[in-house]
């Protein structure tokens, strides 16, 4: 009698350029299917070019645009917001407001 192999969890392994962003997490437990929001946030705020390219293969420009409009670009610094404003054709007026709000935050001013 052949024993059935235990089912592997349906997890797609993240590439090294993405995994390295999750130093504070157990990387074996993070997956695109279950941790999509966290992965998007981390890549957009701290990811390098390879991580951005990986993310763009998983999200359409419309999905990325919706993410920015929903989150108001939270946790992104002004240069990254300006890049995505141009890349995704985000409304300039909105991005200006997000940056203005960010600059008024005492925590952001402390980090400059």
Q: Is residue 73 part of a domain?
A: yes
Q: Is residue 2 part of a domain?
A: no
* Residue whose C-alpha is closest to residue 89's, from 108, 103, 59, 68: 68
pLDDT category, 3, cuts 50, 70, 90? Answer: low
Q: Is residue 3 part of a domain?
A: no
Tell me which residue range forms the domain holding 91.
31-111
Q: Is residue 90 part of a domain?
A: yes
Q: Is residue 86 part of a domain?
A: yes
Please determine, for residue 110, whether its predicted confidence score (pLDDT) is greater than 80.
no
pLDDT the model gives residue 91? 96
Task: Give the model confidence (pLDDT) of 52-102 as tens digits.
Answer: 999 999 999 999 999 999 999 988 999 999 999 999 999 999 999 999 998
Query: What is the mean pLDDT of the segment spanning 24-44?
Result: 91
Domain count, the chain: 1
pLDDT the model gives residue 13? 81
Q: Is residue 94 part of a domain?
A: yes
Decide: 46 and 19 in contact? Cβ < 8 Å: no
Top-confidence residue, 36 or 28: 36
The helix/strand/coil state of 22 is coil
Query: What is the mean pLDDT of the segment spanning 32-57?
Result: 94
């Amino acid at each position: 009698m052949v024993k059935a192999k235990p089912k592997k969890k349906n997890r797609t392994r993240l590439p090294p350029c993405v995994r390295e962003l999750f130093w504070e997490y157990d990387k074996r437990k993070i997956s695109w299917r279950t941790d999509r929001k966290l992965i998007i946030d981390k890549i957009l705020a701290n990811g390098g070019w390879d991580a951005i390219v990986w993310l763009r293969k998983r999200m359409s420009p419309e999905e990325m645009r919706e993410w920015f409009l929903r989150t108001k670009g939270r946790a992104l610094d002004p240069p990254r917001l300006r890049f995505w404003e141009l890349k995704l054709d985000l409304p300039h007026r909105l991005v200006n407001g997000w940056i203005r709000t960010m600059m008024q935050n005492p925590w952001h001013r402390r980090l400059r």
